[in-house]
Structure 1
Amino acid sequence: MSTFSELGLKEPIKKALVDLGYETPTVIQEKAIPQIINSDQDLKAFAQTGTGKTAAFSLPIIEQVDPSIKSTQAIILSPTRELAVQIGKNIEEFSKYIPDLKVATVYGGANIEQQIKQLKKGVQIVIGTPGRTVDLIKRRVLNLSQVQWLVLDEADEMLNMGFKDELDKVLEATPESKQTLLFSATFPKEVEAIAKNYMSDPVEITSGQKNQGSDNVSHEYYLVTERTRYAALKRVADVNPNIYAIVFCRTRRETQEVADFLIRDGYSADALHGDLSQGQRDSVMEKFRKKNIQMLVATDVAARGLDVDNLTHVINHKLPDQIENYNHRSGRTGRAGNKGISIALVTKKERGRLHPIERIIKKKFVHTPVPSGKEICEKQLFHLIDKVKNISVNEEEIAEFTPAINEMLAGLSREELIQKFVSLEFNTFLSYYQNAPDLNDLSSKENSRGRSSSEDMTRFFINLGRKDRLNPAKLIGLINDQGIGDKIEIGAIDILDTFSFFELDKNFEEQALLKFQENEPDFNGRNVNIEITKTDRGGGRDRNRRRGKSGGGFNGKRRSRDAKPNSKREFGRRREDTSPKKAHSGFGRRRRKS
């Protein structure tokens, strides 16, 4: 393998690379950098996520850009704000010893007037998202007539996000003489079409086989039901005490709900999706990079641009709609020479979708049983012992308290002391997984989808729905806030537009009606009405017939609109395989309920 000195880079760039700890180029860098420097031929490059592709296209551009010319000489397009910002940051680091070289990153969600002001001062390299780039071109602020290099980074994702029209407009604004550099982790037909339509006889280079997954990532799948999917996710977290993972979901709504469940169950987690403001997204990403968050629940698009090298796991809560995106997801782990694990939670019906993914990544998924409660407790116990063994003791600070501590513990033997200190943290875990069901038994009644358990459940109507901003997590909190019973089981939940249905253990039927009537709860200022329904699931839009007044329904009185529902929801009374449970310790940086 060559060194950066042998790739034709000038001294200021090499000095910056030394400061950043770059020693030897990756395969894609070794191939792309000399090609871009020594040729003006278009380039089509396959580069897996985490292989150093940003340096592969930016270093040769920095090498050749003329800082004395104020016009824009390179335009780099990126599908997301996060990735654009990351590329801009990298280029600024690579060029820090070239003071006259100016870099601007432009994207939606930020103050466009500030971006315009920066561009008018003269910028040689512009990194932008397609939408904001086109906007600045239309305003005649961004002039690309002198561009020598056009980079399409993550070209496959830009097409997936519907940016074809924007790409066309940017390409139209650039001269034909430019060098087009197309980088992509996968090469579906649409990307090949871009190469065919907008590139002239491109050179093709790859880092590994095209579309193949990273050799540092192993692929596992857990068989689950819809009812046990979330429980399996929690067990993956609990059996890996030092987990540092991205949990991928398909939709923004699913992402937020899973994150809410994890947070309320005491896990160190947060959500990242397109409904968050730029400030919120930046805050979440910063906390994740600093490991103040161990599990980031994200959509495919939102996770682009996350520059994190030490992820232990990628967890597919659900497989992506487009199988090519699986490669993007799994590529977030196993970076910088580290090993990583990509896990897919799939039902029996979804298992067939693994085969085309295996053909793309050229690897087999290994079927792994969902960890048992005993297995998790054992792993957490020894993790706790290891933490105790390696903890640093400030002998000077604790010395004054030692005599009093020794006196208080004088009657306990060494074995008793060990047991008590371990149990202090571990008892909650043991209690949580005591008599935990085997989630691998997909035929069991309690692990099935939940509809078959209706004989033991009472189905209720509630006059709240999606238009009231009700979701399963908020409904569970509303039910638990009524104090119906310490061990009440909540079954199937159906959230509709203006009303919803939920199931409760039949033994708590009367208590539920009574408590809701006594408490007269409101939800966002609206009085709550629940009634018992029949559980016939025959045809029709609403297949449930509500009982009349004799069925036990009630109408609560409307409270003041200033009244707000309790934001601290207790989620500790629902079966582990159907919903979030009570927070337990043993999983680093968990939130504690006051």
Structure 2
Amino acid sequence: MLLQKGGIIIQYNNQKIEQALTEMGFDEFTPIQTQTIPLIQEGHDVIGHSQTGTGKTAAFAIPMLEQLDFESDKIQAIILCPTRELAVQVKGEIDRIGTYFPHLKTLAVYGGESIHKQIQGLKHKPQIIVGTPGRTIDHINRKLIRLGHVKYFVLDEADEMLKMGFIEDIETILEATNKDKQMVMFSATMAKPIIRITKRYMNNPKLISVITDEETNKDITQYYYQVQDKNKVEAIGRLLHVYNPKLTLIFCNTKRKVDTVTRELTKKGYNVDKIHGDLQQTARLHVLDKFHTGVLDLLVATDVAARGLDIKNVEAVINYDVPEKAEFYVHRIGRTGRIGNKGYSFTLVSRKDLGNLEEIFTFTKSTIKKRNIPTPEKVISVRQQKQAEEVHDIITNINTNPHFDLASQLLNENDATDVVQALLHKLSKNDSSNKVNGDINESFQKGHKNKSSDKGQMTRYHLNVGKVQGVTPKSLSQLIMKKTKLHNSQIDQIYVTRTSAFFSTKSSKMNQVMKNLSNITVGGKRTSIRLAKEQQ
């Protein structure tokens, strides 16, 4: 069967998939889908160089579902994801595409949920497992997940798993699979450890790239605003009033800042909630579901909590904090402007953020225009214009007869202008925050690079402890954060061998790292730290 979408013709072997895609509203295939699906159908290993939100799940799920044996009780496909949220999301997408396969059984396995509940799910013999690396290994060690008959092995967001220290876990899982499987990998960046996996475990993979020089999405209008930290919440409120996006993601660099911003936006009357790592898994999924379905207008999140999310109809991304790594900026704003839709990115820049902003300019090679935060007068003018348009639209297109009696009573008892003013007041948000008046725009000079001339440079370190002392990428990351007070996002390229460990930070943090990681005890051994040789 041939199925044509948006001018692209793809061969299908199963009408059930076509029916599901039609009901899901597939109007056209994305570039990653048009290039990847035929290759997977032909049996090739595939590397998809693609960002989040480009339709990757359908790209591997469609050909996978065509080939699975739904009568078998063996696990035939495993998809690894960096976060529990993404695992749940990918499973849901596969279920929707496979909705007309009555014997399809999928299971998501991840930390934060009762392992006993997942054990019960495994007893039903699913054909497809979607999991995070740690929990997947737990089930493999319990001999509950056996991967000796896998047809498809998919690594989704491989670069994110690298950043989170999962590369060794991925290799452990790969070693548990049969050699004749077909392997598919998706990654927004192609770091050396990822390339090493492709060479070791993939069979002459076909590379499909839909990213050009790390450029950001051309469908996203990008602005930045210079404003003091104390006025950033006020700035968000003014931007929301002027642009009025349907769904907005707001990113902060820390969990504490997420809590603060959510609390202040709630005072301003916004329908807002938050996600970060300290929330229970069930609470995070509940918040994400409310945001995804439009029950919430605003979602405040950290990079880690929002990693890998594919939420449709996000019209604006606001960077309350400038991300500490330029690539985080690309991932953040990629949540909007999805698959041909238009989106906005607003970045709030204080004086201390200028260095990071320069890195983003260099990394993205895109145009991020400087704009001014609207004045209160501009906000009021725009809001009144929109309210007038909404009232005219209701008068023209909506049956308001059920309110005729009450309207007549109000007009008989009061002046007509007073009635309209009262109703408009009732529609306005109940702002209980401390209001900020006047112009909040700042003019920061960019001539302060002498303080951090090495802002974009990285330094690599060698520690004299490794697996023998019980060091893992995750435990090393936690140790570095505890001893140096660095944030997780400031630690990169962790690699642990039998007797040594390596990691990188920005060069500006070198003294802080060298001082605090020297002469401490790890696994019974006193540490020494030095700069790694270039090849390390």
TM-score by length of 2: 0.76
Maintained 8 Å contact 2:233/2:265: no
Matched residue type, 2:267? R
1:256 pairs, out of 250, 255, 259, with 259
Q: Is residue 237 from structure 1 mapped to residue 201 from structure 2 by the alignment?
A: no
Offset at residue 20 of structure 1 (A):
1.4
Per-residue CA deviation, residues 447-480 of structure 1 (Å, 9 max, x unaligned), is: xxxxxxxxxxxxxxxxxxxxxxxxxxxxxxxxxx
1:270 pairs, out of 273, 279, 291, with 273
Per-residue CA deviation, residues 27-60 of structure 1 (Å, 9 max, x unaligned), is: 11110001011033x2111122221111001111
Offset at residue 395 of structure 1 (A):
4.3
Aligned to 1:192: 195
Q: Report the secondary structure of 2:392's partner residue.
A: helix
Offset at residue 155 of structure 1 (A):
0.7
Gaps of 5+ in 1: 444-594
More helix by share: 2
| Alignment of structure 1 residues 415-454 onto 2, 5 Å | 422=424, 436-442=437-443
Change (3 A) 1:137 1:326: same
Offset at residue 344 of structure 1 (A):
1.3
Gaps of 5+ in 2: 445-536
Matched residue type, 1:50? G
Aligned to 2:125: 122
Change (3 A) 1:121 1:290: closer
Q: Report the secondary structure of 1:436's partner residue.
A: coil
Change (3 A) 1:385 1:68: same
Change (3 A) 1:382 1:85: same
Aligned to 1:399: 404
Identity of aligned pairs, percent? Answer: 38
Per-residue CA deviation, residues 66-111 of structure 1 (Å, 9 max, x unaligned), is: 2122111111001111111111111111112222222111111222
Offset at residue 324 of structure 1 (A):
1.4
Query: Matched residues in 2 for 1:432 and 1:418: separation?
Result: 27
1:149 pairs, out of 147, 152, 155, with 152
| Alignment of structure 1 residues 303-382 onto 2, 5 Å | 303-382=306-385
Matched residue type, 2:186? F
Change (3 A) 1:193 1:242: same
Maintained 8 Å contact 1:5/1:14: no
Q: Is residue 16 from structure 1 mapped to residue 24 from structure 2 by the alignment?
A: no
Number of aligned positions between the proteins: 437
Aligned to 1:62: 65
Max radius of gyration: which structure? 1
Offset at residue 402 of structure 1 (A):
4.4
Q: Which moved more, 1:51-60 or 1:15-24?
A: 15-24
Aligned to 1:140: 143
Query: Matched residues in 1 for 2:39 and 2:147: separation?
Result: 23
Query: Matched residues in 2 for 1:420 and 1:128: separation?
Result: 54
Per-residue CA deviation, residues 196-220 of structure 1 (Å, 9 max, x unaligned), is: 3433432110124253222211211
Matched residue type, 1:438? D
Change (3 A) 1:427 1:248: closer
Offset at residue 194 of structure 1 (A):
3.1
Q: Which moved more, 1:299-308 or 1:120-129?
A: 299-308
Query: Matched residues in 1 for 2:261 and 2:181: separation?
Result: 46
Offset at residue 231 of structure 1 (A):
2.7
Query: Matched residues in 2 for 1:428 and 1:182: separation?
Result: 48
Q: Is residue 408 from structure 1 mapped to residue 440 from structure 2 by the alignment?
A: no
Maintained 8 Å contact 1:241/1:380: no
Aligned to 2:456: none
Maintained 8 Å contact 1:285/1:306: no
Aligned to 2:97: 94
Offset at residue 403 of structure 1 (A):
4.2
Offset at residue 258 of structure 1 (A):
1.3
Offset at residue 11 of structure 1 (A):
1.6
Maintained 8 Å contact 1:46/1:210: no
Maintained 8 Å contact 1:51/1:335: yes
